[in-house]
A and B are shown apart, each in its own frame.
Chain A
Amino acid sequence: GENVEQHPSTLSVQEGDSAVIKCTYSDSASNYFPWYKQELGKRPQLIIDIRSNVGEKKDQRIAVTLNKTAKHFSLHITETQPEDSAVYFCAASIGSSASKIIFGSGTRLSIRP
């Protein structure tokens, strides 16, 4: 069945350094790839998304890249800050409809002061 794999499961970086989280997906028809951030005890919230007709998208300190051939996509956070500490989930649409997305297993990001 369709699958999204996410690595690493935990990541600890020094404040100010960059963090990279990687995901792979199995459904070649997937065309929508959102990233959600979930702070402790809170709800998941969308931080950035990318569609298959774009290879890269940037929003301030956050960027996402997509390699459709390899079925890889990644989240890059630069100049990390304490408030970036959270669990991050990648996701991919199943087929060409965005009505169903499959989430990765999550990455717990900790920012060391």
Chain B
Amino acid sequence: DTAVSQTPKYLVTQMGNDKSIKCEQNLGHDTMYWYKQDSKKFLKIMFSYNNKELIINETVPNRFSPKSPDKAHLNLHINSLELGDSAVYFCASSQVASVSSNEQFFGPGTRLTVL
């Protein structure tokens, strides 16, 4: 009964390729996020969508393009992969409008390795 799921779990690819990571949440949340965690464990927000609308877009290269077909899905497409894109990418979701809790529920992560 996975709350936030991501596919694939591991992704190994060559520089210059284009790849996608998919994320789905079954919690009924209205907000979804993509985070990048580098080798030093820094967790940096990349994007956030609220009800399919982009609300946060950090200074991320435009090679990264999020797509939210509906509020339960937020996919991340990366063009022309570079060595520096190697990291663990986490999807998360939350119910921001909730008064009781704004907990972000994270997916299991996708470890991307660019060779």
B50 interface contact, C-beta 8 A: yes
* Chain A residues within 8 Å of B56, by CB: 99-100
Tally of A-B Cβ pairs under 8 angstroms:
51
A61 interface contact, C-beta 8 A: no
B106 interface contact, C-beta 8 A: yes
Q: How many of chain B's residues touch chain A, expressed as a range?
A: 20 to 34
In the complex, residue of chain B having the shortest beta-carbon distance to the beta carbon of A93: B102
* Chain A residues within 8 Å of B66, by CB: none
Q: How many of chain A's residues touch chain B, expressed as a range?
A: 20 to 34
* Chain B residues within 8 Å of A46, by CB: 103-104
Does the CB pair A45–B106 fall under 8 Å? yes
Q: CB within 8 Å of A: which of B63-88?
A: none
Does the CB pair A49–B103 fall under 8 Å? yes
